[in-house]
Structure 1
Amino acid sequence: MGFEIVLSARAAPLEAMLRQLLDARTLSGEIARPERLMAAMRHGVLNGGKRLRPFLVMESAALFSADGEAALRVAAALECVHCYSLIHDDLPAMDDDDLRRGQPTVHKAFDDATAILAGDALLTLAFDILADEATMLPAERRAALVLALARAAGAGGMVGGQTLDLEAERSRPDEAGIIRLQAMKTGALIRFACEAGAIIGGAAQEDRERLAEFGSAIGLAFQLADDLLDLTADAHQMGKATGKDAAAGKATLVALHGAGWARSQLNGLVGQAHALLEPYGEQAVLLKEAAKFVANRNS
């Protein structure tokens, strides 16, 4: 519970930043943004959520004494990408969900076409935020962030993983295939969140690689915990439908090895994540807590 309070406190300035970025009023040099589109975007973004990925950006950046406002804007950009992916993932052609975080999904609150466009707009907004001089970082760091997020979100990252996930309903992948799918679909953005902190802070390549590896470990833990919850939690607890993976015949590591094996793996991944953070001492305490939270969450 203590960590959830910290997570909530860190989310407050992010919420304010997202509200500002999703304001429908005309910005300098831009034509007016259509209000219905902006309303759909706000519905998909400003609907609660733990804001774990933004937290990882900001805490990873803090390891290197990075500018807090710049880290906040990068965190907001990443959350735009994450929320776009959820909007599209909920569509009838994808996972076909009616609820997200206990509220109607965007295509239910609006319509399919508006949901598609809201997702498109959030994805492009993310790169607008990163490239904008208002993200007060040297141009080469902003460019590095744009490149890293594009790769994490694209065909070799999240979108590629979503494709493999849909294919897994028709042809069950082996264990290596499941790990690859999950490292792309879920892990890629979490890995970026941690690596981004090192980029924002202008850290050495060794630090960037170490934080990326930490992100990979907790990304796998996040998906393992998610698969366990899909199997064991109820819809009220999760704020969305559960049991859908099993009903769709999707291959998961939990389905392959069982819940006991998954819990053992989660413990090992937390240990691995903590070991990677040892060089940062007390500065990494909250990131270590985040690893435990990811593995042990109940929603």
Structure 2
Amino acid sequence: MLELKELKGQIDQFLKQAMPADIDQDTLAASMEYSVNAGGKRLRPALTLTTVQVLGGQLNQDVMKAATALELLHTYSLIHDDLPAMDNDDLRRGKPTNHKKFGAGMATLAGDGLLTMAFQWVTDNQLPADTRANLALALAQAAGPAGMVAGQARDIEGEHEHLNLEQLQYLHRQKTGALLRYAVLAGGIITGQDQAVKALLAKFGAQFGLAFQIYDDLMDVVGTTKEMGKAVHKDAGEHKNTYPGLLGVRGAEEQLHLALRQARKTQADLSEVTNRDFSAYDQFLAYFKL
């Protein structure tokens, strides 16, 4: 069983080696690789790969390609989120954002390229045909207009209104939670789990995703630019709907602890149902430090 640090190293290496062969324009390649290789925690593909390992699967090149596709898609979302027409951010992962380095046009194309290449990688491998089809469908649902993109749209519209807790949770289930839910579910799809196990995997991913967004909101208030690798203290000034903004820091912390308790309960349920040890998820739950 590879630990998170080892998985991150393998993911980084695979991305650097595999991306150039699938990009046929030099400036576009530089722009796409700039953001993908800028760092990041690689939590999403690592969640997939950890789930595959726990459920008895092998981390071969086909599994690596399918899993790291999610990092391509996640990076596309960050590039587009940082654009002047969206959040207009200057810093991402401690470096100038893509549009600051390559211009808004090329940054938009880099995001487009990463989005489409993600689906190429999910399907251009030697996994069984039904596995590839199920991964592509689940990823499209998570990333598309009923998932992450819908969440981004709600976020934009929400800047002009005050959301209640239920509305805020719904927004973040789509904006942030959908891809993290997919990340865990994908491990179940790759290893051919039954519907009951896949439902529990998706539930854990959604709970982890909620905790991740609450934590991100909190760190915008209490964190530093060095810690986060991006500008902080922006949400309030831009009238974003956030957990600290709605509930205060203490209330947001209570919601974070609730989400983590629920995730640990689902983690235990997974161990019981599958008769496998899901303690490898502990390293992901340890991400949240308050």
Superposition TM-score tier, normalisation by shorter sequence:
over 0.9
Structure-1 residue corresponding to 2:132:
142
Are positions 1:18 and 2:15 aligned together?
A: yes
Report Cα offsets for 1:172-229 as digits up to 9, x if no partner: 2222211111110000000000000000000111010000000011100000000000
TM-score of the superposed pair, with normalisation by structure 1: 0.91
Of 22, 46, 50, the residue aligned with 1:55 is 46
Matched, 1:155 2:169: no
Q: Does 228-237 or 90-99 show the bigger shift?
A: 228-237
Shift of 1:79: 0.2
Of 260, 278, 284, which residue of structure 2 is paired with 1:284? 278
Q: RMSD of the TM alignment (CA)?
A: 1.6
Q: TM-score, normalised by structure 2?
A: 0.94
Which stretches in structure 2 are left out of the alignment for 5+ residues? none
AA paired with 1:58?
A: L
Which deviates further from its counterpart, 209-218 or 163-172? 163-172
Over residues 139-178 of structure 1, what are the superposed CA-to-partner deviations in whole Å (9 max), with x where a residue is unaligned?
Answer: 0010000000000000111111011111111122222211
2:80–2:108 contact (8 Å) kept in structure 1: yes
Task: For 1:92, give the aligned amino acid.
Answer: P
| Corresponding position: 1:101 with 2:98 | no
Encode CA deviations 1:68-116: one digit per residue, 9 max, x unaligned: 1233222210000000000000000000011101111110111100000
Between the aligned partners of 2:156 and 2:133, the Cα distance in structure 1 is 32
Structure 1: gaps spanning 5 or more residues: none
Paired residues of 1:57 and 1:74 also in contact (CA < 8 A): no
Q: How does 1:1-299 map to 2 (within 5 A)?
A: 6-23=3-20, 25=21, 33-69=24-60, 70-132=62-124, 134=125, 136-278=126-268, 279-280=270-271, 283-293=277-287, 295-296=288-289
Give the whole-Å Cα distance in 2 for the aligned partners of 1:188 and 1:181: 10
Describe the SS at the equivalent of 1:245: coil
Q: Percent identity?
A: 42
CA contact (8 A) 2:94 2:230 kept: yes
In 1, are the aligned partners of 2:63 and 2:127 still within 8 Å (CA)? no
